[in-house]
Amino acid sequence: MKAETNDLDHQGLTRLNSHRRAELLVNAVKDYAIYLLDRDGYVASWNAGAERFKGYSADEIIGQHFSRFYTEEDRAVNLPERALATAASTGTFEAEGWRVRKDGTRFWTSVVIDPVIDDEGGLIGFAKVTRDITDKLEARRALEQSEQRFRLLVEGVKDYAVYMLDADGRVTNWNPGAAAIKGYGAVEIVGEHFSRFYTEEDRQAGEPERALRIAREAGKFETEAWRVRKDGTRFRAGVLIDPIHDESGRLIGFAKITRDLTERWAAQKEVERAREAMAQAQKMEAVGRLTGGVAHDFNNLLTVIRSSVDLLKMPSLAPEKRQRYLDAISDTADRAAALTSQLLAFARRQPLKPEIFDVAARIAAMRPIIETSVGAAITVTIGVSEDAIVSADPNQFETALLNLVINARDAMPSGGTLDIAASLVEGVPAVRGHGPGAGRFVAVRVADNGAGIAPETLGHIFEPFFTTKGLEKGTGLGLSQVHGFAKQSNGEVDVDSRIGMGTAFTLYLPLAKPEEISARASALQKRRAKLTTHRVLLVEDNDVVGQFARDLLQEIGQVVTWVKSGEAALALLETSAEKFDLVFSDVVMPGMSGLELAKAVATRWPDLETVLTSGYSHVLVEQANHGFRLLRKPYSMDGLITLLK
């Protein structure tokens, strides 16, 4: 009986014409809004799904323009009209977007508009299907993202082998890139263990298992290593392995990406070989310049020595000439020793005698030497931090600073400004390809507003015997000494230069540690406690240096009388009832020099010792032959204590 009823229902539906059946079908659909528009977009039919989604009854909406379902912003850009135009021109329009219900609420829809063509091929309207997919929007977006990642994993990637492994490391799928790189087809490799791509030595060392363990524990494994193709050839591979977990967090496998880096690796090796070859060529060039410079300078020195020896062999040589040639040999030997010292400084083999000293005090004491070295046409400004305490060789520091000062002077032949500053800084910037250095440093900056250094020259300025100065205008060892001293003192030297604007050298020296400063202060205190109090006659024409020297001497318990000339010193010694234990005199002074004063004191007061001091190297060399003790400027408290003990 039931079969007969179903048969009758079936016959009843089939007796209906196709238009009626289509109408019943459309009206029976509740999950889709299905309706017709005329050519201008006015609603011509309305099904139950449309009424349920949009809130309008058929009587309310038929004859109204379908644009009322669009948001205000979509209407403002003529989206309804463009949708119909697209459907008419391309045969369909599909989109998703926000639509508006009768009550003003919005919902996310999937829309399809198809043109309706009559039997003559003319456009008579549009069929429009809309579905409310608001609740599926987020789920679909998540699905799309997942599908997109999956497509990226498996779709036609040629430059990467992209495939998956199960939890045990067996291949579960295989993309064309994997086939191209490794040589295996999917049929050959799916189900096989991925360790077959490793070299024999890596398999023996357990590298495949280690890779999966790291990926599992750390969330990722990444490396670059050798892998093996099907034909046995090796290739350089960049490898990334990520673990894959299901919704419950259970490990279900691994995603593996491999890239053939053989060409890049070979190119890198070629670059490295070229760089090594260039470095070797530069090294040989530097060695050639070094040996050439050494040969040139030493040949000059040897010429003086050889000529002087030949002249000394002459039996008829006058005594005064004999002494002059002996002095020439002595002076030349000292210059050869200084040249050797500079070479050792560049090579970082110079024996250093580090001391704790105040950079500010050193630079202040050197000011007269600096000003004399640069001349009156250059204005010198000095600004230093009072806390700039370093542990370094003070004599090498002075030499380095003077080298920088002289370099600045030569860059300003017509005069200019020389700025010297010292400040505390954190770390050393990246210099000449080296990374930055950590720690606290004293940065001594020597800046000029001279001609500047060309960029192509900057890379060579610290090389020994490299100089842009004219013949016989410089040895080319000044800046190499600065560089060697800085590096040997665990510091650095940097340079910033612009053509026509000037050059700034910055010497970085490590800041002395508090415990070093405390130890020095304690040692000084102990040494000072052992000192005998002397009555010192200080002879110094420079006010700044004189004040500094007097303060230092008084600080270590000496009684000091300060005069500013040799003549004043002799007058005081003649008339004063006070007896002095020591005369401490500068060498270069207006009027009577320190050496002349020392000779006069030795003649008239033979028991009174005179100690001479100077910052000029040639003066120190000249005075060394006269039997008086010498103390090099700028002197420190250590130096004075050593002098007086």
Burial letters 422-451, b for 16+ CB under 10 A, else e:
bbeeeebeebeeeeebeeebbbbbbbbbbb
Q: Which residues share a beta bridge with 357?
A: 390
How wide is the angle at C-alpha 386 spanned by C-alphas 384 and 387, nearest 5°? 115
Question: SS in 3 state form for 603-623?
Answer: HHCCCCEEEEEECCHHHHHHH
Q: Does the pLDDT of residue 89 top 70, yes or no?
A: yes
pLDDT at residue 207 greater than cutoff 80: yes
Cβ atoms of residues 225 and 237 within 8 Å: yes
Distance CA 397, CA 481 (A): 10
Q: Which range (153-157, 359-363, 412-416) has the least confidence?
A: 153-157
Average of per-residue pLDDT across 178-184: 91
pLDDT score for 392: 83
Question: In the structure, what pLDDT confidence band is assigned to residue 620 with cuts at 50, 70 and 90?
Answer: very low
Q: Which of 388, 355, 410, 366 is nearest to 523 (CA)?
A: 355
Residue 4 has a pLDDT of: 45
Q: Which pLDDT belongs to residue 5?
A: 44
Mode of pairing for the β-strands spanning 629-632 and 609-614: parallel
Reduced to 3 DSSP states, what percent helix, strand and coil does the chain have, rounded to the nearest 5? 45, 25, 25
Task: Identify the helix (H) or strand (E) that includes residue 4.
Answer: helix 2-15
Question: Where in the chain is CATH 3.40.50.2300?
Answer: 516-644
Residue 420 and residue 381 in contact, taking contact as beta carbons nearer than 8 Å: yes
Flag whether pLDDT at 165 surpasses 70. Answer: yes
Question: pLDDT of 319-361, one tens digit each?
Answer: 777 777 677 776 666 666 655 555 544 444 445 577 778 888 8
Torsion angle of C-alpha atoms 320, 321, 323, 324, degrees rounded to 10: 120
Mean pLDDT of 56-73: 94
Residues 172-195, mean pLDDT to the nearest whole number: 91
Superfamily of domain 140-260: PAS domain (3.30.450.20)
Comparison of pLDDT for 389 and 337, the residue scoring more: 389
117 vs 527, residue with greater confidence: 117
Output Rg (C-alpha) for the chain, integer angstroms: 46
- C-alpha–C-alpha distance, residues 229 and 351, integer Å: 58
Provide the pLDDT for residue 635.
Answer: 67
**What integer is the mean pLDDT of 44-66?**
91
Q: What residue spans in the chain does CATH classification 3.30.450.20 cover?
A: 12-132, 140-260
- Helix (H) / strand (E) element for 417: namely strand 416-428
Confidence (pLDDT) at 522? 55
Please give the single-letter amino acid code of residue 314. Answer: M
CA distance 278 to 267: 16
pLDDT of residue 138: 74
CA pair distance 485, 350, nearest whole angstrom: 8
For residue range 541-578, what is the model confidence (pLDDT) as tens digits? 888 778 878 887 887 788 899 999 999 999 999 988 78
Q: Where are the alpha helices (DSSP H) in 229-318?
A: 262-312
- pLDDT at residue 329, as a whole number: 74
Distance of CA 546 to the CA centre of its chain: 45
Q: For the range 195-204, what are the long-range contacts, defined as Cβ-Cβ under 8 Å and sequence gap of 24 or more?
A: 195/169, 196/228, 197/227, 197/228, 197/258, 198/227, 198/228, 199/226, 199/227, 199/228, 199/234, 202/226
Per-residue pLDDT band for 428 (boundaries 50, 70, 90) equals confident
pLDDT-wise least confident of 31-35, 270-274, 632-636: 632-636
Q: Please report, for residues 327, 330, 586, 618, the alpha-carbon distance to residue 624 in angstroms, rounded to integers and kept in the order given.
A: 11, 11, 14, 10
pLDDT at residue 383 in the model: 87
Q: What pLDDT is stored for residue 345 in this prediction?
A: 46
Residues 6+ apart with CB under 8 A from 254: 164, 165, 167, 169, 212, 215, 241, 242, 243, 244
What is the CATH T-level fold of the domain 12-132, as seen in this structure? Answer: Beta-Lactamase (3.30.450)
Nearest to 74 by CA among 109, 44, 47, 49: 109
Residue 629's pLDDT band (boundaries 50, 70, 90)? confident
pLDDT band of residue 244 (cuts 50, 70, 90) is very high
Residue where the block lists tokens 């060399």: 621
Nearest to 85 by CA among 47, 37, 51: 37
Q: In this structure, what are the phi and psi dihedrals at residue 409, rounded to the nearest 5 degrees?
A: -60, -45
Torsions phi, psi of 98, nearest 5? -85, 140
Backbone angles phi, psi at 435, to 5 degrees: -70, 165
Q: Which of 631, 634, 633, 632 is nearest to 644 (CA)?
A: 631
358 membership: H or E segment, kind and range: strand 355-358
Residues of the chain with CATH 3.30.565.10: 355-512
Q: Which CATH architecture has domain 516-644?
A: 3-Layer(aba) Sandwich (3.40)
Give 218 or 136, the one with higher predicted confidence: 218
Residue ranges, comma separated, of all CATH 1.10.287 domains in the chain are 266-346
* Residue 384 confidence (pLDDT): 83
Cα–Cα distance, 453 to 431 (Å, whole number): 17
CA 336 to chain centre: 40
What is the average pLDDT score of the chain? 80
Range scoring the smallest mean pLDDT among 31-45, 250-264, 515-529, 567-581: 515-529
Cβ-contact 127, 36 below 8 angstroms: yes
106-117/535-539 β-pairing? unpaired
**3 state DSSP class of 332:** helix
The token duo for 207 is: 């590298």
- Centre a 10 Å sphere on the Cβ of residue 456 and count the other Cβ atoms it contains: 7
Instruction: Pick the more confident residue, 305 or 189.
Output: 189
List, for residues 584-607, the tens digit of each pLDDT value: 998 888 889 888 999 999 999 998
pLDDT digits (tens, 9 = 90+) for 489-518: 888 888 988 888 999 999 999 888 776 666
Q: Is the Cβ–Cβ distance between 527 and 478 less than 8 Å?
A: no
Are the CB atoms for 176 and 182 separated by under 8 Å?
no
Q: What is the pTM of this model?
A: 0.39
pLDDT bucket at 15, cuts 50 / 70 / 90: low
Which residues have C-beta within 8 Å of that of residue 61, sequence separation ≥ 6?
43, 46, 50, 54
Indicate the range of 202-216, 245-259, 457-471, 473-487 predicted with least confidence: 457-471
**What does residue 290 show for φ and ψ, rounded to 5 degrees?**
-60, -50
Pick the most confident of 49-58, 76-85, 330-339.
76-85
Indicate the range of 117-121, 309-313, 406-410, 566-570 predicted with least confidence: 309-313
- Indicate the class that CATH gives domain 266-346: mainly alpha
CA angle 386, 389, 395 (to 5 degrees): 115
Is residue 521 predicted with pLDDT exceeding 80? no
- pLDDT number for residue 347: 45
pLDDT band at 306 (very low <50, low <70, confident <90, very high): low
Q: Which of 636, 632, 585 is nearest to 611 (CA)?
A: 585
- List Cα–Cα distances, 406 to 335, 470, 538, in angstroms: 18, 15, 30
- pLDDT above 90: percentage of residues in the chain: 34
What is the topology classification, in CATH, of domain 355-512?
A: Heat Shock Protein 90 (3.30.565)
Pairwise CA distance, residues 261 & 60, whole Å: 68
Share of the chain above pLDDT 70, in %: 75
- In whole angstroms, what is the distance from residue 638 CA to residue 312 CA? 42
Mean pLDDT of 50-58: 90
What was the pLDDT predicted at 545? 78
From CA 508, how far away is CA 634, in angstroms rounded? 20
- Residue 27 C-beta-side C-alpha neighbours within 13 Å: 9
Hey, which residues does 111 pair with through a beta bridge?
95, 130
Residue 199: pLDDT above 70?
A: yes
Q: What is the pLDDT of residue 195?
A: 94
| SS3 of residue 74 by DSSP | helix
